[in-house]
Amino acid sequence: MEVKQAGAQSQQEFLRDAMGKLGMTRAAFAKRISVPDKTLDKWLAPANTSDYRAMPDVVWAYVREILLWSAKTP
């Protein structure tokens, strides 16, 4: 089951949107949030696949904080 947060946005949409807003590649984004590339790949996998892993709530919050911080800096 796919967990929805940040409104009705899926985990994958949330992460892709965050990477886009920050102008980061998958590798750069994984490094920024301090997770292995493979972990980010599992969070980005479709929810109906065996590779999918739900992202912990703390990561949702952390990414939101990064987005807020980047919006405040010129």
The answer as to whether 5 is a domain residue is: no
The answer as to whether 2 is a domain residue is: no
Q: For residues 42 and 51, give the distance between their C-alpha atoms in angstroms, rounded to a whole number.
A: 6
The answer as to whether 26 is a domain residue is: yes
Domain residues for 33?
11-72
CA-to-CA dists, residue 8 to 35, 39, 74, angstroms:
25, 23, 29
pLDDT at 74: 63
Domain count, the chain: 1
The answer as to whether 4 is a domain residue is: no
The answer as to whether 62 is a domain residue is: yes
The answer as to whether 54 is a domain residue is: yes
pLDDT at 2: 43
What are the pLDDT tens digits along the chain (74 aa)?
344 444 578 999 999 999 999 999 999 999 999 999 999 999 999 999 999 999 999 999 999 999 999 988 76
Residue burial 28-64, b: 16+ Cβ < 10 Å; e: rest: ebbeebebeeeebebbbeeeeeeebeebeeebbebbe
pLDDT at 7: 57
pLDDT at 46: 94
- Which amino acid is present at 9? Q
